[in-house]
Amino acid sequence: MRAVLAALALPVALAACAGAPKVVGEDGPGPAFALERTFAGRGTGEGVFRNTLTGSTRPFKVVFNGRRTAQGLDLAEDIAYADGETERHVWRFRRVGPGRYEGRRDDVVGVATGVESGNTLRLSYDVKLKTGGSTAQVHFEDTLVRRGPGVVENKARVSKLGLPIGTVDIVIRMAAPRR
């Protein structure tokens, strides 16, 4: 399950996720999400993966490095778990319409889809997780809510074959852009 948390990310890409967790204030007034601006530059995050089957938790820290591109955003995530394990994931997001994105990452099956609405970005994607000597495919439904300049809360549900197996909660702080 260690890779489940690694796949948390983003941060980023979805289709109107009816099953995504509801976050207080989501889709509400406040700063528009604007993926390319929100995750441009360097940021940090602290969070936890909760295994709903065993009740265990796995804390982690993440360093984000985002770079705007002509098509959207490239976002690197360097994850460090409390147990010492580390992982790196690189997202490539492409804007496909107003407030709509497609995201790709090496361990994502197919394409992640993302939709912005107000201060919220919903991401939906499947990930190939390496667990022990085998690989399992799990599904992520992320709801990222921009709380103010440089602050994003990400709540994700993780499932396998439609059954919940975990949640991810993370608070992300992006540095103010340099002038």
Has residue 99 got a pLDDT over 60?
yes
The pLDDT tens digits for 146-171 are 998 899 999 999 999 999 999 999 99
pLDDT digits (tens, 9 = 90+) for 104-143: 999 999 999 999 999 999 999 999 988 778 899 999 999 9
pLDDT band for 12, please (50, 70, 90 cuts): very low
Question: Within 13 Å, how many C-alpha atoms sit on residue 34's CB side?
Answer: 12
Q: What's residue 131's pLDDT?
A: 75
Q: What is the predicted pLDDT for the residue at 18?
A: 32
Report whether pLDDT(49) > 70: yes
pTM check: above 0.85: no
pLDDT band at 31 (very low <50, low <70, confident <90, very high): confident
User: Residue 176's pLDDT is what?
Assistant: 74
